[in-house]
Amino acid sequence: MTKTIAKVGNSQGIIFDAALMDLARVKVGDKVNVTVHPGGSIVLTPIHPAIDSETAAKTAKQLIKKNAPLFKRLS
C-alpha cells in the first residue's frame, strides 16, 4: 500500500483510511509507538493497554459462569 505525505496544518502527516485502521485494529485517539530504524523505515506499533486485575477477574467470572457446562464436561 502506498500513501503520500500531506500537509496537515503546520505539520506533515499521512491519512489512514478506515480499511487500514480496521486492519491495524486502531481508532482515532489510540496511542502508537513510533520507531525509526536504520535506513529510514518508520514503524508504528499500536499500544494496547493491559487490563487491570479487577477487570480481568470480573471478565473471567463472567466467562466461567457463561460457559459452566463446558467447563464441567472438560473437568
Q: Which helix (H) or strand (E) holds 19?
A: helix 18-24
Distance CA 14, CA 65 (A): 45
Contact 56, 64 (CB under 8 A): no
Query: Is residue 6's pLDDT more than 90?
Result: yes
pTM of the shown model: 0.58
Residues whose CB falls within 8 Å of the CB of residue 4, separated by 6 or more in sequence, listed in order: 14
Strand-pair category, 42-46 with 32-36 = antiparallel
Per-residue model confidence as pLDDT tens digits over 16-73: 999 999 999 899 999 999 999 999 999 999 998 788 889 999 999 999 999 999 988 9
Q: So what's the pLDDT on residue 75?
A: 82
5 is written with which cell numbers? 505525505
